[in-house]
Structure 1
């Protein structure tokens, strides 16, 4: 809890949208030593996950915990922190933060970090304080505080600098988890997005949760960050939402994509994209599942071994045994290439289908009403089409 006796008034004010209305709040100066980072801040979600995978909890000492989280802020986006720090050193803090009376920062973690570093570097006593609006958490529900945080973090375009996986973690917490406070429509409104875009993000976030379960690392968000899963998962979402995949085939299609993501190296996003036509072909998907059935079982058992879980804690990633990895890549590549070849072989048929559609679009009643000159030109094109048809019939030995 902040010692109110250490808080100094300023002449500044700040507008905040809270409880669905804009209110003017006074800005005060608070000693940095009275504040603590918000451990639920979305921008460091995967770093918190990584820390807690090694430790049971954060230190009880607020200053010790602050030093740990400051490291996360530094690592998560060092360039943005550097810019903020340089700006504050040159022009002092221009924009007030928002903190709760218990000392937890709602908005302004990067400014807090910059000030802490400038203070430690002896840049001047003025950097020992942060300017902030001070809110009493008892006056607001947790949802109202979170709504305010979303408003502040998304109000300016340049502030939307989440790591893509940290962004998905926030989506999971705010919209999917059992105690999630928002509907998609509410969230879209608060972050100035569309409900359709938010629903799509929810699908990708759910795939992240499902993938981490698949590899035996539920809610270990740092592994998703380490494997740079945003691109592959977004590609997977586009593939799996297709109506070409029957409901009964969905889990098989998803598991094949997950096994591939876990096995592929290099440009994983492109390689997942290449599998689109394979998993959307029910017969080919069945063939892939049949060939990989034993391998997928082995992978599942491997993911759940204690030594694999222990290694994941140390390396923050999950590796597929070479034999299984090679088999998945081999089968996925074989069927991807087979599908590409099949599509290329059918390309002439698709072209003819399109040509027939265009001919069927010709208005025969309009043909009857054409002038003599237009009829002559029309007949010329018919003759040229007939010549091409006859030539192609000759190629296929058709009658």
Structure 2
């Protein structure tokens, strides 16, 4: 049943309010309606819950969720709530206090394309207060099958392009980007970039991170199990990896280094994994990189053999079987710490050269034409500083002479 028929039947009530939306590059005001809660259903294609939907499909061995199922709304509501319970409770309290202030957007068949959190809050409030029966929203005469691209661009525009929206979980956003731009090619990079109002450089970085996420999941034998990336909180490490890979020259080195990082992400040797990965970056930038990689590749092989022992890898498997392997963790930690110490010693050894290069740069930048404008006292002060610098330089030259 279409919502456009609901006005005559009483479950859709026009209000005096409007909401501006930009569709196909045209911005105009749209009528807002009060729509009975039981005539609406969640949008399972909402990027905010992408990882939750992927987990449900895997655990229940289904390819898609049946919107006609009586349990459909309850299933999605759980995803929405668990994705950010603090935000839901905060919004719920606000709606209880002042009512729904911001209207959502729904399709004519009842699919909620914007306002899933507000819809969730109203559903929960309705469980305790049956007087709260309506969700206020704009109704678009669109079909998700025939207008999928248009609706996705609208959703992106609302969720990413408008101020005051609650941020997505970074992994859910990467999953949405991967599905819409890379895998299904529903929208182009240019369309995505313009719609979310971010620079092309930022979007390209996110695409790189999304590709790395896919490669990592393939490496651990869990292709497109996106919820694992969310559970392991890989958004931090994924943002660090591209800069590390750019430190090596050949594609073979890059692939080896990628496998080393993936192994460390899976085993999680010690503490904060993002900081651990940053330490790898420091070593890769040193003369010890090849020895480090050669040693670490042994752990890659050991990790790959361990992965091969499992037919079905989940977040629980990773925590119980991989991240509990203290022997392998210890070897990874000792390897990194060994080369980290060597790298720090090298940096300490060459620090005098780096410091002198900085001093030279500063001296070259002095505007000597300004010296004649100094008064007598200022010239005397400058003269004393220059003499002190000369003394220190003589000491450096003396040390160099002794070394020679």
Both structures adopt the same fold (TM-score exceeding 0.5): yes
Cα RMSD, aligned residues only = 3.0
Runs of 4+ in 1 over 6 A off after TM superposition: 366-379
Residues 369 and 175 (structure 1), Cα distance of their counterparts in 2 relative to 1, 3 Å cut? same
Mapping for residues 102-181 of structure 1, pairs under 5 Å: 102-121=109-128, 123-125=129-131, 127-138=132-143, 141-181=147-187
Partner of 1:265: 270
Deviation at 1:383, TM superposition (A): 4.6
Q: Does 1:67 align with 2:77?
A: no
Deviation at 1:118, TM superposition (A): 1.5
Deviation at 1:107, TM superposition (A): 0.6
Residues 381 and 89 (structure 1), Cα distance of their counterparts in 2 relative to 1, 3 Å cut? closer
Deviation at 1:313, TM superposition (A): 6.2
Partner of 1:85: 92
Unpaired stretches in structure 1, ≥5 consecutive residues: none
Mapping for residues 226-375 of structure 1, pairs under 5 Å: 226-241=231-246, 244-248=247-251, 249-262=253-266, 263-281=268-286, 283-307=287-311, 309-310=312-313, 312=314, 314-315=316-317, 319-320=322-323, 321-359=325-363
What CA deviation, in whole Å up to 9, does each residue of 1:169-218 have, x standing for no partner? 222223322424131x3323222222222222222222222222222222
Residues 363 and 161 (structure 1), Cα distance of their counterparts in 2 relative to 1, 3 Å cut? closer
Q: TM (normalized to structure 1)? A: 0.86
**Matched residues in 1 for 2:235 and 2:175: separation?**
11
When the two structures are aligned, how many residues end up with a matched partner? 390
Deviation at 1:102, TM superposition (A): 2.7
**Matched residues in 1 for 2:362 and 2:137: separation?**
66
Q: TM (normalized to structure 2)? A: 0.85
- The alignment partner of 1:98 has SS state of strand
- The alignment partner of 1:276 has SS state of helix
Deviation at 1:240, TM superposition (A): 2.9
Unpaired stretches in structure 2, ≥5 consecutive residues: none
- The alignment partner of 1:106 has SS state of strand
Residues 355 and 28 (structure 1), Cα distance of their counterparts in 2 relative to 1, 3 Å cut? closer
